[in-house]
Amino acid sequence: MNTLTVIKIGGNVIDDPAALKRFLTAFASVAGMKVLIHGGGKIATQVADKLGIQTTMVEGRRITDQPMLDVVTMVYGGLVNKQIVAKLQALDINAIGLTGADGGTVLAKKRPVRDIDYGMVGDIDEVNSGQIQFFLRQNLTPVFAPITYSETGDLLNTNADTMASAIAVDMVRHNGVTLVYCFEKKGVLADPTDDNSVIGELTPSLYAEHKAAGSINKGMIPKLDNAFKALGNGVSKVIICHADDVAAALQQGAGTTLRLGD
């Protein structure tokens, strides 16, 4: 069976041109077929401020009304995505920049209003893995911005971690899949104040212990929930690592590797 590496890069790296350049160089060195999903970083907030559009965040998630959706579509699907594609071309990676609407690759539905109305935010319904596999067979490297679409033709702002997990799971139909979450830390930390306290291997029971103790909290929880869900749905391996270490994590075991067995 063919192998595929699905890699998600976080917004904090997107915000730092030097860090992004290092990551893309490392990404280019990853052998075989690969897919990149990127976050948006703070650029959308900066552009919204210039346009007089208020940014509202709840528990780290962006409230996306129509004006903000216009901004994130322009920034994530346009500026950030095409900058990444251009830089990959310079590294001899023939990349194609996409949102979930392109080729009908990632279909979502608007998140229902419960305690919070997130606005035009999408929860993923379906991934068209056959279309993504077609791009890969053409020796193209898909680069996805975190924008999806609905059956009614609306664009939706979608969590990039969730998008990476959903794409990885559906691509299991065609390949053996490794999912890698890259960000500004060396991995999942036992002590959030100590960058060297990387947990080398994380299981569901150890994850539960760290959550109960509060050492794993905030934004790391949904990331890990998505990661364990991917493992439970056929993804071969999930790694969480520093953006600079993506190649080393795949080859030598840097970062945190997740497994289901306890």
C-alpha to C-alpha distance for 259 and 36, rounded to whole angstroms: 22
Please list the residues that pair with 197 across neighbouring strands: none
**% of the chain surpassing 70 pLDDT:** 99
DSSP per-residue string spanning 126-141: EE-HHHHHHHHHTT-E
DSSP state of 102: G
DSSP per-residue string spanning 14-31: HT-HHHHHHHHHHHHHS-
**Class of residue 46 by CB neighbours under 10 A (exposed 0-12, middle 13-18, buried 19+):** middle
The owner of tokens 């007089």 is 52
Residue-level pLDDT at 244: 93
83-114 burial: b if 16+ Cβ within 10 Å, else e: bbbebbeeeebebebbbbbbbebbbbbbbeee
The owner of tokens 């900058």 is 83
Q: Please, which pLDDT band fits residue 5 given cuts at 50, 70 and 90?
A: very high
CB distance 126 to 107 below 8 Å: yes
Point out the annotated binding site for substrate.
Answer: 40-41, 62, 157
Q: Please, which pLDDT band fits residue 262 given cuts at 50, 70 and 90?
A: low
**% of the chain surpassing 90 pLDDT:** 80
Q: Which residues contact 43 (CB under 8 A, 6 or more apart)?
A: 14, 15, 75, 79, 80
Tell me the pTM: 0.94
Q: What is the enclosing helix (H) or strand (E) of 3? A: strand 3-9
* Average pLDDT over every residue of 155-161: 95
Point out the annotated binding site.
Answer: 40-41, 62, 157
CB distance 99 to 77 below 8 Å: yes
C-alpha to C-alpha distance for 262 and 247, rounded to whole angstroms: 27
Range of the domain at 10: 3-258
* Average pLDDT over every residue of 225-239: 93
Give the residue from 243, 247, 244, 262 showing the smallest Cα distance to 201. Answer: 262
Question: What is the average pLDDT score of the chain?
Answer: 93
DSSP state of 121: B
145: domain CATH number is: 3.40.1160.10
pLDDT digits (tens, 9 = 90+) for 73-82: 999 999 999 9
- CB-side neighbour CA atoms (13 Å) of 185: 19
* Average pLDDT over every residue of 86-111: 98
Residue-level pLDDT at 261: 72
* Average pLDDT over every residue of 2-26: 94
pLDDT digits (tens, 9 = 90+) for 101-137: 999 999 999 999 988 999 999 999 999 999 999 999 9
C-alpha to C-alpha distance for 21 and 227, rounded to whole angstroms: 25
pLDDT digits (tens, 9 = 90+) for 52-66: 999 998 877 889 999
**Looking at the 3D structure of the chain, how many domains does it have?**
1
CB distance 38 to 100 below 8 Å: no
pLDDT digits (tens, 9 = 90+) for 40-55: 878 999 999 999 999 9
C-alpha to C-alpha distance for 36 and 141, rounded to whole angstroms: 8
C-alpha to C-alpha distance for 117 and 190, rounded to whole angstroms: 33
Residue-level pLDDT at 25: 96
Radius of gyration of the chain (CA): 17
Total Cβ atoms within 10 A of residue 119: 19
pLDDT digits (tens, 9 = 90+) for 181-231: 999 899 999 998 898 899 999 999 999 999 998 889 887 888 899 899 999
